[in-house]
């Protein structure tokens, strides 16, 4: 009704009903064409912010690790066989003025652990970070334990944070021997804001003469587009693509008052980005992830199933009735069964996409592990126009 109303108002009625219908069909065709063009443009031209596809060189997180003790466990800690736990406990007590012989200490409420944390960029002394605590001995569970003060070090050996506090774990272990129940991982815990930064790890951005943008995924086209959109935004050439991943931006030529303002300005620009055609398969779990841009050349897939089942059973062999010779013995009996299912096939035309391939493979009853083998064979035959990565 809305289209009919627009036609009658905007157009001048013709001498007959046929001219009115022609105008109406023409308007419908134009509306359909414009909506199709808009839909096509929306699928091809995908805009992403530079903050989502790039990072700043030199601005990154750092990994920290430490070794310590978790105490206060309910007899679920390390056993006597984990000798380094007792040695660590003895050293800790020695620093507090208590001298003990490690060989005579028997405790089950202590566990040796490694503590890991991520030091964020621009971390300042006094900032809080989350830490993860993982048992390294034979403790059954560290539930309810408290981490003693532990130094967290960077790869250079310097202490950048200290961690301490009660643990929170996402599992439990109850019972003993054959009557026990374990959920998730009771030997790994977390302390929210349990670490305190002790050393300044911030990067001085005021010393930057060049801001280097690094693409998260290497792509020459994307690197060129990033440089072009930055130069267009500032009205002069301040960005240069050095390779498929790095784009350098000259700070002095940008005219911004500071490096943080320049980075904020650049990160909020957008480019048209197309993901590379790639197929990632995980043979251990049978997981397959394929991008929507993956295309196939004309290919025929024949999939059959050949099953050979060999079973060996133990049977009792006895002599014939009323026989004076022979003895009763246990012998092995082997049975072999062979079944060969009919071969099934699918055919894909030029330019077939991922959806068509998956539907065809499901139609012939292929499992996820079958699909992985089929994809590898298609790639070897040159029919898969994408990068195949097996992890």
Q: How many domains does the chain have?
A: 3
Identify whether 304 is part of a domain: yes
pLDDT recorded at residue 203: 86
- The domain boundary residue, chosen from 141, 162, 197: 197
- The domain boundary residue, chosen from 236, 251, 272: 272
Output DSSP code: residue 78: -
Identify whether 88 is part of a domain: yes
pLDDT recorded at residue 54: 93
pLDDT recorded at residue 27: 44
Of the candidates 71, 190, 68, the one whose C-alpha atom is nearest the C-alpha of residue 133 is 190
Query: 224 and 289 share a domain?
Result: no
Query: 283 and 256 share a domain?
Result: no
Identify whether 165 is part of a domain: yes
Query: 300 and 380 share a domain?
Result: yes
pLDDT recorded at residue 172: 65
Nearest-5° angle of CA 204, CA 208, CA 212? 115
Identify whether 97 is part of a domain: yes
Higher-scoring residue by pLDDT: 130, 100? 130
Task: Report yes or no: 134 and 104 within 8 Å, Cβ to Cβ.
Answer: no
CA R_g for the chain: 35
Query: 82 and 189 share a domain?
Result: yes
Query: 308 and 365 share a domain?
Result: yes
Q: What confidence category does residue 169 fall into, taking pLDDT thresholds of 50, 70 and 90?
A: confident
Of the candidates 117, 119, 149, the one whose C-alpha atom is nearest the C-alpha of residue 133 is 117
Residue 58 has pLDDT above 50, yes or no: yes
pLDDT recorded at residue 294: 76
Helix orientation angle between 354-363 and 368-380, rounded to the nearest 10 degrees: 130
Listed range (112-116, 176-180, 272-276) with the worst mean pLDDT: 176-180
Give the helix/strand (H/E) hosting 180.
strand 179-183
Query: 209 and 110 share a domain?
Result: no
Domain of 306 in residue numbering reads as: 279-318+329-390
Percentage of the chain exceeding pLDDT 90: 37
Residue 19 has pLDDT above 80, yes or no: no
Query: 290 and 345 share a domain?
Result: yes
pLDDT recorded at residue 303: 64
Query: 156 and 261 share a domain?
Result: no
Show Cβ contacts of residue 217 under 8 Å, excluding neighbours closer than 6 positions. Answer: 53, 275, 276
């Amino acid at each position: 009704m809305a289209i009919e109303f627009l036609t009658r108002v905007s157009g001048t009625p013709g001498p007959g009903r046929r001219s009115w219908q022609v105008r109406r069909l023409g308007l419908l065709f134009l509306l359909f064409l414009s909506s199709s063009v808009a839909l096509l443009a929306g699928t091809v031209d995908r805009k992403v912010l530079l903050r989502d596809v790039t990072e700043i060189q030199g601005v990154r997180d750092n990994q920290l690790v430490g070794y310590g003790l978790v105490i206060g466990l309910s007899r679920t800690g390390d056993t006597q066989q984990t000798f380094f736990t007792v040695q660590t406990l003895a050293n800790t007590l020695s620093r507090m003025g208590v001298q003990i012989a490690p060989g005579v200490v028997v405790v089950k409420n202590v566990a040796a652990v490694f503590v890991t944390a991520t030091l964020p960029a621009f971390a300042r002394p006094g900032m809080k970070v989350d830490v993860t605590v993982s048992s390294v001995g034979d403790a059954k569970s560290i539930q309810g334990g408290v981490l003693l003060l532990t130094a967290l070090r960077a790869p250079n050996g310097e202490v950048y944070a200290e961690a301490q506090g009660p643990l929170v774990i996402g599992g439990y272990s109850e019972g003993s021997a054959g009557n026990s129940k374990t959920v998730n991982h009771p030997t790994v815990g977390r302390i929210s804001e349990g670490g305190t930064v002790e050393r300044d790890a911030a990067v001085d951005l005021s010393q930057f003469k060049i801001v280097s943008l690094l693409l998260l995924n290497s792509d020459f086209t994307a690197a060129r587009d990033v440089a072009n959109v930055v130069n267009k935004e500032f009205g002069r050439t301040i960005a240069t693509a050095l390779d498929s991943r790095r784009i350098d931006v000259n700070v002095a030529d940008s005219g911004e008052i500071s490096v943080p303002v320049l980075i904020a300005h650049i990160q909020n620009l957008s480019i048209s980005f197309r993901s590379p055609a790639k197929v990632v398969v995980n043979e251990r779990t049978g997981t397959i992830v394929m991008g929507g841009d993956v295309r196939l050349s004309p290919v025929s897939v024949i999939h059959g199933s050949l099953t050979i089942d060999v079973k060996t059973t133990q049977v009792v062999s006895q002599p014939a009735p009323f026989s004076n010779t022979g003895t009763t013995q246990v012998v092995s009996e082997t049975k072999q069964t062979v079944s060969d299912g009919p071969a099934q096939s699918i055919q894909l035309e030029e330019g077939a996409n991922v959806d068509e391939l998956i539907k065809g493979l499901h139609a012939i009853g292929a499992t996820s592990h079958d699909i992985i083998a089929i994809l590898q064979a298609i790639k070897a035959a040159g029919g898969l126009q994408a990068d195949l990565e097996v992890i």
